Amino acid sequence: MSFDISKHNLKALKFRDELIELLKKYKCSLSTTGKDDRNMVLEFHDKELNQCQSYRMTEECENYNLYAENDNSCIMDKVIKEAFNRDYGGMSDLNNGQVTYDIITNDTNKAESKLIEIYDKLNLNGEVKYFAWAKNTKYILLKNGEFYRWIKPNTTTSRGYRCRKIIIDRNITMEELYSNILPICRTKGLEDVEIF
């Protein structure tokens, strides 16, 4: 008797094994909420203190947002705000003279939706000069020379620009925030950040 185990089945089993090891490593459990909401519950157990901290994970695209029990604010929102909770004053005159409003997300659809929202708002006053809508380039050029542009958080091509405001997707990872976004936006404070 021969069993045909596909590469996909082996990949799924490997994922399961790694997930089990992660759950053991962090002393936590993963379950559904018991509702038909596609959310999961992540519980961290501390046997010494006889305590359990619960989190709700919501599925959004390929990332999962995490909320503490009895708290409706996304934990990543708090991390982003804390990372930018500083006062660096005004923009310096270093680098080039181009001033941007950066929309930072990996999600093309979210970038498009945000740009359309901004376009609809600014075009009412006739401020929009040009709206670029290509596969990998999406931006709005204003008549005063400023522009809103979409950049992915893992890109290095955005270094050297001065951004006046950052619009950050909460679905970024901690690695993207600390390794890529903060170096690009090192002169920005909390008042310069919008999370969507």
178: left (phi over 0), alpha (psi -120 to 50) or beta: alpha
Given this model, what pLDDT does residue 93 score? Answer: 47
Domain boundaries, the chain: 7-72, 82-195
Given this model, what pLDDT does residue 94 score? Answer: 46
Pairing of strands 147-151, 99-104: parallel
Continuous segment of H or E residues that includes residue 128: strand 128-133
Residue type, 67: Y
Given this model, what pLDDT does residue 59 score? Answer: 76
Give pLDDT tens digits along the chain (196 positions): 556 678 888 898 999 999 999 999 999 999 988 887 888 899 998 877 788 888 888 876 667 888 888 888 899 999 999 998 865 555 554 455 567 899 999 988 999 999 999 999 999 989 999 998 887 788 999 998 888 999 888 765 555 556 778 999 999 999 999 988 888 777 777 888 999 9
Given this model, what pLDDT does residue 45 score? Answer: 85
Given this model, what pLDDT does residue 111 score? Answer: 92
Give the global pTM: 0.76
| 87 contact partners, CB below 8 Å, separation of at least 6 | 189
Report the distance separating Cα 76 and Cα 69, nearest Å: 14
Report the distance separating Cα 81 and Cα 114, nearest Å: 20
Using an 8 Å Cβ cutoff, are 52 and 43 in contact? yes
Phi, psi (deg, nearest 5) at residue 194: -125, 135
CA distances from 89 to 62, 85, 189, 190, 191 (A): 36, 12, 8, 11, 11
Report the distance separating Cα 154 and Cα 141, nearest Å: 23
Given this model, what pLDDT does residue 191 score? Answer: 85
How far is C-alpha 157 from the chain's CA centre? 18
Using an 8 Å Cβ cutoff, are 195 and 170 in contact? yes
